Structure 1
């Protein structure tokens, strides 16, 4: 296979194996072949078939997003920006999540919009937590991304009839059947001709799954050597439901069942036993997460909209919890998510030193890779996959570029991204996604949302219109 060389990049954000850290390497070379990195260093002297100038560029590892819902969330733009149920502690899960859902015709556009936004913000690997839908695997492969498919399954659906009580409709046999189908999809993904798909087991939520479904899915995930993720400690209502059922906090109960280890991921993990909104008689949850090696997928934007946040990212890191970053909602912009994660951590701690950019970037790269069991992504080192991003450090919003990663996260954002490569194949060039017609998908989604809005009264417990639930910012004249 031909060797491609990025010659004399102004900066390479390389992986230092001795210190287990990313390091700035000025005037570096990066060579890759057949989707793998061959050389990361200076003065490459091997054979080269194609050379890319690194002048004015920073080469950094592609970002790893461990929690996202591409098949549904893009549809919610304009619907759920400002909604939260007061009687359910401002969560939007139980009253609004079930009613703003894309119809089958809109799902593919949702996915294409989300994956385009992810690519444009430097994500090369994403965990897609979705309900299985027709053509899913081929659609993901078409994007050129590296995707961990995570088909969700559960034993019950949640709903509310009044806006202050959550109820559950149980069908355990349907949950078991959906789990079997999910593992079948994982097998198909691992065999996909693209070579970029792999899988994860995801029982949807701690409160919608029977103990048997959780145990069976965890056992099977361990047997297959794949990661296991669950939404847990994501709302005050859920916290109270689990303590009522089991006498343990959500994290405590997962621990008691033997479900937590270094391949387990907690989606959100906000409401621990020492959170101000859920005080409990123990103070063990954070230590449990650290001691078991469990990862928390931190997705600040979706909760910040409701006035909710983790308490706080720096505290979790200092305790030794492995952290990853996700984009649970629109926009699917990983750099924006990272910036908000840093600011919320510092405001919650009332301390600008509570989380460093080093720790934040590690969560978005090697922390996520660790959670997925993929030491070959999230870092630039020989033998790793050739998943990387070219950042224009001459962009005006990157200047001054004294510390280019800080300039990228806190100032320039995705505007400074010049190119994205996955397995050595270019998927973004000059701000345009090469594998997806982003504009066409966004336009189709715009039209599809009108149909969804018309159906809202049929799904809402109070039969309200979309305009009643989410009034426009200004009156239409």
Structure 2
């Protein structure tokens, strides 16, 4: 049996099963073999294991790998520098309908976008990701090569959205195409789950609540239940969507999903911001948060992309106190889970007008165990005997980690990915000294740069409002002289 021992770690963020929470250990060992953790605590006896690999843990914090339950690896890297400051004034500053459709990569750049985003995730301590993407030929191969524990989640829908004037969202419906797209997604998921690497799983994702028929939402949920896997959709993510669903059904997005019977412990609501008691919706009920809590559904919170538009979930601590399972995702660039955690904390406190609404421990729980709960995996997101050996070693000697009175706070609020030294997934080392060994992310970044230049040329054709150029839709920070 090949055993790896991280010996005498300065700190270990270990899981206490009795209290169901993370705890700090000092001077502890973590031993693992065959992808599973064998020992957590001081004094591991390696005297009868001549072939053991010993890793010096002094000066390191060992923590569980982060669980990202909402990400779009193939879509987002190309938006860097373009969608940072865009939003439709006539659509409550949402970026979804007028701006995002104008900047998307071609088939040639898809593998590079996936590669770049996967590397960013690994280098920020993510070991498990739900990748909600449009399928491309090399998707599964890149996920296998990366070393990530990946939940393949091909999106499908019954309609595409668009706007021709910047203040009205229209829908182009093709229900048969939606069903065919779901069937293809299920084939891809089944193939991923059968892959011999053992690190691939799947999630069923009807893309958005407003672009899917009730029948597609219910049928997809049934298919997820039949396979024993998770189900997720974007809902309550924009005010135009909120108003569209209330117009169609007289119910909020959360209430509509509940009426359809698709909210349960295997369901994830992507974003869940615009609920009935959010001050911007001014709806007549106060039922959405209780529904989410009662059904056991998870909310995937991704604050960064909404902060850019001046929008916010109100607030993370309030959702926790309502009894809702919360997970965290990297919905946008950069795919940096630690920075996303930082934004969770700062934004929650801002929205609550209080520093007491949420603790860093609660945020870390959401980024690990909360995500694992959403995936119905009690072997992820924790350092405990029998759990998967998905581990992150953080360099405590990094200047941004010091002072180190509370190392998780130092990581989240100061050092971020810069202090991530080593990452193991399923017992295999995939990041060492801050570098991903399995992916050429530098070459991928150059390819995405070139892909963005190609995409910029097509922006006037994709802008249905006024045929504007990329520089007109998203002016640069400074003029050229």
Q: TM-score range by the shorter chain?
A: over 0.9
Cα shift at 1:193: 2.0
Whole-angstrom distance in 1 between the partners of 2:103 and 2:377: 34
Query: Paired residue for 2:452, among 442, 446, 449?
Result: 449
Matched, 1:236 2:239: yes
Cα shift at 1:182: 0.8
Aligned to 1:261: 264
1:44-63 CA-to-partner distances (Å, cap 9, x unmatched) read: 12544111111111100000
Matched, 1:371 2:367: no
Aligned to 2:23: 23
Give the 3-state SS of the residue equivalent to 1:207 in structure 2: coil
Give the 3-state SS of the residue equivalent to 2:394 in structure 1: strand
Give the 3-state SS of the residue equivalent to 1:201 in structure 2: strand
Query: Paired residue for 1:473, among 463, 473, 477?
Result: 477
Give the 3-state SS of the residue equivalent to 2:101 in structure 1: coil
Query: Paired residue for 1:430, among 426, 429, 433?
Result: 433
Give the 3-state SS of the residue equivalent to 1:273 in structure 2: coil
Whole-angstrom distance in 2 between the partners of 1:137 and 1:111: 10
TM alignment of 1:384-395, pairs within 5 A:
384-395=387-398
TM-score by length of 2: 0.98
Give the 3-state SS of the residue equivalent to 1:148 in structure 2: strand
Aligned to 1:299: 302
Whole-angstrom distance in 1 between the partners of 2:5 and 2:220: 43
Aligned to 1:119: 122
Matched, 1:275 2:278: yes
Whole-angstrom distance in 2 between the partners of 1:431 and 1:217: 39
Aligned to 2:36: 36
Whole-angstrom distance in 2 between the partners of 1:51 and 1:370: 32
Aligned to 2:326: 323
Aligned to 1:382: 385
Give the 3-state SS of the residue equivalent to 2:190 in structure 1: helix
Cα shift at 1:380: 0.5
Give the 3-state SS of the residue equivalent to 1:229 in structure 2: strand
Give the 3-state SS of the residue equivalent to 1:316 in structure 2: helix
Matched, 1:12 2:23: no
TM-score by length of 1: 0.99
Whole-angstrom distance in 1 between the partners of 2:399 and 2:136: 42
Cα shift at 1:257: 1.2
Which ranges of structure 1 fall in alignment gaps of 5 or more residues?
Answer: none
1:301-351 CA-to-partner distances (Å, cap 9, x unmatched) read: 000000000011010011111000001000110111110110000010011
Cα shift at 1:448: 1.2
Give the 3-state SS of the residue equivalent to 2:102 in structure 1: coil
Cα shift at 1:67: 0.2
Give the 3-state SS of the residue equivalent to 1:164 in structure 2: coil
CA RMSD of aligned residues (A): 0.8
Whole-angstrom distance in 1 between the partners of 2:211 and 2:77: 24
Give the 3-state SS of the residue equivalent to 2:32 in structure 1: strand
Give the 3-state SS of the residue equivalent to 1:324 in structure 2: strand
Whole-angstrom distance in 2 between the partners of 1:401 and 1:102: 42
Give the 3-state SS of the residue equivalent to 2:100 in structure 1: coil
Cα shift at 1:198: 0.2
Whole-angstrom distance in 2 between the partners of 1:443 and 1:156: 33
Query: Paired residue for 2:84, among 43, 57, 81?
Result: 81
Whole-angstrom distance in 1 between the partners of 2:420 and 2:142: 24
Cα shift at 1:144: 0.6
Whole-angstrom distance in 1 between the partners of 2:91 and 2:433: 44
Give the 3-state SS of the residue equivalent to 1:105 in structure 2: coil
How many residues align structurally? 477
Matched, 1:195 2:198: yes
TM alignment of 1:199-218, pairs within 5 A:
199-218=202-221
More displaced, 1-10 or 82-91?
1-10
Give the 3-state SS of the residue equivalent to 1:8 in structure 2: strand
Contact 2:114 2:139 in 1 (8 A): no
Whole-angstrom distance in 1 between the partners of 2:315 and 2:359: 13
